[in-house]
């Protein structure tokens, strides 16, 4: 039995309270960390933006580059579309995250071998593209064609995991603003990802952050890029609607 099917068979936790208005993780930071995120010279995540920009213009052996379609600086990118991912792509007849869409362009338009989810190249390109859309308001559609993914994401968000028996909802909605092991719990919004985390001293994708959360709960993580994490990203991106993209965010 697939693990997601097992999730569907578990009792559904029902929460009477409505989800709160979305609050960016930036608003939970202290003044020093805000200054680091705001300053492009201090923000260590900007190195990934610059590396992503170089890769965006790299012709490779195929003598084709992302820039051929989207401009050397990404000026032809549809910024509102970037702020609408994950979204259902009619061409591929499925829900796709932004990283998946970039990979599809990498293979279909540049005629290159497909990259595994969270490959360094994909992460750098995702960071560059998201940074181009910085300031755009997130508007992810709760699409009827992706209803099963939304429902799966909601179930995972509200399921108890690991030895601690905690849910995403408990940490990031019920206990938001409180401290867990010295760290203030935010709403876990997606608008700053990929983010640079000082604790791990690296650029961190959303799915890698999911893995870190599962380990903290002493639970076995799902597969990066797998259906469960993509569904969870979709559900949480809809929760982030109304916030502005801040990539690259910085966190402790």
As beta bridge partners, residue 96 has: 87
User: How far does Cα 103 stand from its chain's mean position?
Assistant: 15
**Is there a catalytic annotation at residue 105?**
no
Under DSSP, the state recorded for 185 is -
Backbone angles phi, psi at 194, to 5 degrees: -60, 145
Long-range contact pairs involving 59-67 (C-beta distance under 8 Å, separation at least 24): 60/110, 60/112, 62/110, 62/111, 62/112, 64/109, 64/110, 64/111, 65/110, 66/105, 66/110, 66/125
Tell me the CA distances in angstroms from 10 to 14, 52, 148, 188, 206, one per residue in order. Answer: 12, 41, 16, 24, 25
- Cβ atoms of 203 and 195 closer than 8 Å: yes
Q: Which of 66, 168, 171, 213 is catalytic?
A: 213
Catalytic residue ranges:
213
């Amino acid at each position: 039995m697939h693990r997601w099917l097992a999730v569907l068979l578990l009792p559904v936790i029902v929460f009477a309270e409505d989800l709160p208005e979305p609050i960016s993780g930036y608003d939970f930071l202290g003044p020093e960390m805000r200054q680091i995120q705001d300053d492009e010279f201090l923000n260590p995540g900007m190195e990934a933006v610059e590396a992503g920009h170089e890769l965006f213009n790299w012709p490779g052996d195929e003598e084709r580059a992302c820039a051929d379609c989207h401009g050397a600086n990404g000026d032809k990118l549809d910024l509102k579309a970037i702020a609408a991912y994950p979204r259902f792509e009619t061409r591929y007849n499925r829900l796709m995250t932004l990283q998946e869409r970039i990979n599809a362009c990498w293979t279909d338009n540049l005629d290159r071998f497909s990259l595994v989810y969270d490959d360094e190249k994909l992460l750098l390109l995702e960071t560059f593209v998201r940074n181009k859309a910085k300031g755009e308001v997130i508007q992810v559609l709760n699409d009827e064609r992706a209803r099963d993914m939304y429902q799966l994401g909601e179930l995972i968000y509200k399921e108890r995991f690991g030895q601690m028996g905690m849910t995403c909802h408990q940490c990031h909605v019920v206990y938001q603003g409180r401290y867990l092991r010295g760290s203030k719990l935010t709403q876990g919004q997606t608008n700053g990802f990929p983010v640079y985390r000082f604790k791990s001293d690296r650029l961190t994708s959303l799915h890698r952050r999911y893995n870190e959360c599962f380990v903290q709960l002493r639970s076995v993580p799902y597969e990066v890029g797998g259906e469960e994490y993509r569904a969870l990203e979709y559900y949480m991106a809809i929760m982030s609607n109304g916030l502005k993209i801040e990539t690259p965010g910085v966190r402790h």
